[in-house]
Structure 1
Amino acid sequence: MKLKSVELQNFRGFKTLELSLPDAQTLIFIGGNGAGKTSLLQAIGMMLSWLPARIRSEKSSGNKMDDTDIFNDESSAFIGLCLTHDGQDVLWSRVKKRLGRTGSEKSVMDDMSALALHFRQRLTENRDTALPLVAYYPVNRSVTEAKLEPKSKRYNQLDAFSNAFTKASSFNNFFEWFRNREDLENEQRLKLKDFDYQDHQLMSVRAAITAFLPELSGLRIDREEHKPRLLAEKAGKTIVINQLSDGEKCLLALVGDLARRLALANPAGQKPLKGEGIILIDEIELHLHPRWQRNIVPGLEKTFPNCQFVITTHSPQVLGDAKNAAVYALNIHEHPPIFSLAETVYGRDASDLLEEVMDASSRTLLAKSS
């Protein structure tokens, strides 16, 4: 499953945007503050949110536009999205009309509703049917504390989409799921009398985290204290996850949560990290050291090979190591508001990317003294 095209009309700062997308695993949008990167990502997220909603129920709704999403004093706003799935194009659109205004535009949801029906039918026939993952990680994502209170819950594929399109990500669902799943793993060890037994969903999450943070190992719950703690081994020492830096915690939680969602969406698969999906990440470099910024896109593409990543960034380090990505520059104040960067960005020096691609000086220019 991959995005094929996006169209916006009178949406927020965009008067008109028509974008046909290549068959690339990663799409990167760059631009200055206020250029429209987050608005574009949120528009795509609004549309994708309708798929899991309609898989749950044919009458359920995804995220909707409101009057503040309509450009200036226009009467309506329009978002159109096309994706490909199993070689077929799936096209749908949403229209938001301002109260008290008229217009002939209508939302068209037939293709998307038919795709959702297809997955509901497959779930009816086989409760372990794999589902494609769609999720949006906003810029407001943080890890304040790993909450590990036990919750007796039976998870299914639809839980992969829980809180997948919110305005802020706390990652609490990841930590709760990890605790629940490890409890099940321990029960199986006792039942099978095999203390080397590992739950395949937890194995996939641990493998994904190790791929990005190889210095961490042995991720587990400590139940001996009065309050459960998430522990790991680092540099030969046992540490509490809350003691990690913000960058380490955010990367662990982002990668762990994505792996968790894929594990839930692919319950029967022994390799859930190979599940397919479309993942949106705003300001992917958030809290990351420049060295990690260089590794983030290649790492995501390698660890989750069948997911498409749609990301925004201000980082020349991210651009310089995105070998196969399609890169677009956004500016809602220009016409057209988006253009493809035909020149290759992979391997270019960070200073060069700042100067020639990101329209920023590589160093502060000091004013001459009088």
Structure 2
Amino acid sequence: MWVERLLIENIRSFERQDISFSQHRNGPYRWVTLLGENGGGKSTLLQALGLLLAGPEGAQTLLPRPVGWVRDESTPGQLQIRVREGDRDPGRLGKKTAPRSFTYGLNVTGRERLVIKKQVYTEPTLVEEPSRALSWLRDIAFPSQGAGWFAAGYGAFRRLTRSSQLLVPSLEPQARYTNFITQFNEDEPLATFERWVVYLDYIIAKHPQSARQHRRQLDQGIAAINRMLPEGTRFDSVSGEGRILFDVQGRKVSTLAMSDGYRSVLALAGDLVWRLIQAFPGSANPLQEQGVALIDELDIHLHPRWQRHIAGWLREQFPGLQFIVATHSPFVAAGAGEDALTLRLMLENGATHVEKVETPAALSVDRILQSEAFGQLSPYSPETTERIERYDALARKSRKRSASEERELAELRAFIQKARPVGGPPEPGSLEAKLDAYIERTLQPEGRG
């Protein structure tokens, strides 16, 4: 299952935007990167998708009183989604079906509960009797618990709990809306990973008759998590006190003592692994099943080295998922790959506009920042940019420069050499290319043309 289209109208900064997540003939984009400045609408777009993918009852639980959501409260806001079903019908597990699409929406009012909009289904219809459409949607596609179309959403403040996890007698599947709870409650920690690992370790030790099944689940999850951690960091064990220990460069460290970067990756990957295993209990490899994952500010807490690889890691470990993520990092934008869809959200005159931009997979970080993806942002600090432009103005001066200007130019020239790009040749016509030309010309020995 994946998202083909989102319509968002009269919601916060969105007047009306109809956004496609599909390629022309090759199906969905499996990775969608959302770029844009703070306040441009990235989180709102992801929350809108979260409400729709949580299902009608889940949406009402996540946002019972959507105050501040409607842009013009004289008319309801609208959220509408078209979802493409893959080759498995959630109502008949294991049975292959032809791909098909469905559309449904929510009306959003400013002071009342969310109102479920009349369901609209594309052909072929998912149910033979149209009067059963809403019940089919609730019971089969988006059930409160159990099998259905898989989706999960993660807000920007995802993190592990700071308290030690006690052993629990069971770890029952949670209601569907909890798949998206961190998008709407930033104080909610992602404790599932720790509880899940501790619980399975306990069951394996205390109930040998069911150890094989639980060992397989635990091994699958740990293997996926290990592959997403930097070299030299691996899962080690669960202590007698119920603490999860990792081997970090030969030293055993509990999750409570790990950095925010490690904890952010563990929280996201661990939660996603557990929810996939719960959603597809009969699957030989739940991590390869289809679904949608929404992630806000994927780069948060991550060192640039991790930012370069995080998209590739996620795509490799969860190949059946469609990722729709927001980021401020050029490393994440580039690491998504050439087959990703990159959308830039721009706030103009109080309204958000969404436009497709070229995916910057082949560009250096400097060139990504100066591309349309990041709005031609200078890779230099404001002070350095100002000094570069002053150097440009003095170097171009047609009349003779004064003695003070010559001294200033000499000082700037020494500074400019530090600002020269490292690596390959700069892009023709870029600021770096002009700097190179100026430096090459002005540093030539006397008598050379």
TM-score interval, normalised by the smaller of the two chains: 0.7 to 0.9
Determine the C-alpha separation between the residues in 2 that align with 1:52 and 1:339. 32
The secondary structure found in structure 2 opposite 1:80 is strand
Q: Distance in 2 between matches of 1:97 and 1:258?
A: 32
Separation in 2 of the partners of 1:243 and 1:313? Answer: 26
Code of the residue aligned with 1:317 in structure 2: it is F
* Structure 1 partner of 2:37: 32
Give CA-to-partner distance per residue, 1:119-165, whole Å, 9 cap, x none. Answer: 599x9xxxxx8543211100122234253201112524x55763533
1:48 equivalent to 2:65? Answer no
What residue in structure 1 maps to residue 427 of structure 2? none
Matching of residue 270 in structure 1 with residue 284 in structure 2: yes
**For residue 202 of structure 1, what is the aligned residue in structure 2?**
218
Work out the CA distance in 2 between the residues paired with 1:177 and 1:345. Answer: 38
Structure-1 separation of matches of 2:150 and 2:116: 27
User: Relative to structure 1, is the Cα distance of residues 73 and 270 closer, same or farther in structure 2, using a 3 angstrom cutoff?
Assistant: closer
Question: Which structure 2 residues correspond to residues 175-214 of structure 1 after superposition, within 5 A?
Answer: 175-189=194-208, 191=209, 199-213=215-229, 214=231
1:348 matches 2:381: no
Which residue of structure 1 aligns with residue 117 of structure 2?
107
Residue 135 (structure 1) aligned with residue 145 (structure 2): no
Residues 285, 295 of structure 1: CA spacing in aligned structure 2 closer, same or farther, 3 A cutoff? same
Return the alpha-carbon distance in structure 1 between the equivalents of residues 295 and 255 of structure 2: 23
Aligned alpha-carbon RMSD (Å): 2.9
Is 1:149 aligned to 2:166, yes or no?
yes
**Conserved? CA contact 1:49–1:134, under 8 Å:** yes
Following TM superposition, by how much is the alpha carbon of 1:255 offset from its aligned partner in structure 2, in angstroms? 0.7
Q: Which runs of 5+ in 2 are unaligned?
A: 23-27, 87-98, 121-132, 391-407, 409-449
Match of 1:253 in 2: 267
**Residues 1:247 and 1:61: Cα distance change in structure 2 (over 3 Å):** closer
Q: Is the 8 A contact 1:4 1:21 kept in 2?
A: yes
* Aligned-partner residue type, residue 118 of structure 2: V
Q: Secondary structure at the match of 1:151?
A: coil
2:9–2:77: 8 Å Cα contact kept in structure 1? yes
TM-score, normalised to structure 2's length? 0.70
For residue 243 of structure 2, the aligned residue among 229, 239, 250 is: 229
Q: Given the superposition, is the C-alpha separation of residues 78 and 198 from structure 1 closer, same or farther in structure 2, using an over 3 Å criterion?
A: closer
Q: CA deviation at 1:202?
A: 0.9
Matches within 5 A, 1:2-151: 2-22=2-22, 23-50=28-55, 53=58, 63-64=63-64, 66-86=66-86, 87-98=99-110, 107-109=117-119, 113-118=135-140, 130-151=147-168
Counterparts of 1:310 and 1:352 in 2: how far apart (Å)?
Answer: 23
* Counterpart-to-counterpart distance in 2, 1:188 and 1:51: 39
Query: Per-residue CA shift, 1:292-341, capped at 9, x if unaligned?
Result: 11111111111001111110011000111211210000013267701111
The answer to whether the 8 A contact 1:53-1:61 is kept is: yes
CA contact (8 A) 1:12 1:68 kept: yes
Identity of aligned residues (%): 24
Counterpart Cα distance in 2 of 1:294 and 1:319: 9
User: What is the TM-score with the length of structure 1 in the denominator?
Assistant: 0.84
Does the CA-based 8 Å contact 1:279-1:307 persist in structure 2?
A: yes
Structure 1, unaligned runs of 5 or more: 55-59, 124-128
Range moving further from structure 2, 328-337 or 242-251: 328-337
SS of 2:180's partner is coil
Query: SS state of the match for residue 264, structure 1?
Result: helix
Q: How many residues are matched?
A: 347
User: SS where residue 337 of structure 1 aligns?
Assistant: strand
Q: Quick one: structure 1 residues 145 and 74, their matched pair in 2 at CA, closer, same or farther if it must change by over 3 Å?
A: same
3-state SS of 1:93 partner: strand
Which residue pairs with 1:332 in the alignment? Answer: 347
3-state SS of paired residue (1:165): helix
Residue 88 of structure 1: how far off its partner (Å): 1.6
Contact residue 146 and residue 172 of structure 1 kept, 8 A: no
CA contact (8 A) 1:151 1:180 kept: yes
**Structure with bigger gyration radius:** 2
Aligned equivalents of 1:317, 1:267: Cα separation in 2: 35
Maintained 8 Å contact 1:8/1:79: yes
Seen in structure 2, the aligned counterparts of structure 1 residues 181 and 305 have a Cα distance that, compared at 3 Å, is: same
